[in-house]
Amino acid sequence: MSRSCVWVALTPLLIVACDDDAMCLPEEFAAMSVHALSAADSTPVLNARGVVRDGSFADSLVEAGQGYYDAAEGRPGTYAVHLEHPSYAAWDTSGVVVLSPGSGCPVLGTQVEARFAPIE
């Protein structure tokens, strides 16, 4: 069977699988994940503090390890992110969009990279 015939044969299965709620992952993930790194040497920034906001919703970023911080479990939205650490200038961004895949499936999340400039 040629490659094009295989894709044609599989297409109905893919369409059915995408519309099937049973194909959703069974757990929720952080909508926002921030990877905090030093701009000077790309090492992970540990023990930072931060918050994500979407309108009146706010959630604290929780350290997940190795410079990763998570927040807003399972919640789609358009986020502003603020992260700070005593040894670095504060880092901010906004307009980070997290979409829901629909069909009752939880969000898979969005990751941004925060490059912290050391305070001199």
pLDDT of amino acid 24: 64
Q: Alpha-carbon distance 116 to 67, whole Å?
A: 11
79 or 12, greater pLDDT: 79
Over 80: is that where the pLDDT of 32 sits?
yes
pLDDT of amino acid 106: 76
Top-level class of domain 24-116:
mainly beta
Q: What is the mean pLDDT of residues 31-36?
A: 96
Over 70: is that where the pLDDT of 89 sits?
yes
Q: What is the percent of the chain where pLDDT is above 70? A: 78
Identify the three-state secondary structure at position 46.
coil
Q: Please, which pLDDT band fits residue 2 given cuts at 50, 70 and 90?
A: very low
**Taking a C-beta distance cutoff of 8 angstroms, is the pair 69, 52 a contact?**
no
Dmax of the chain from CA atoms? Answer: 65
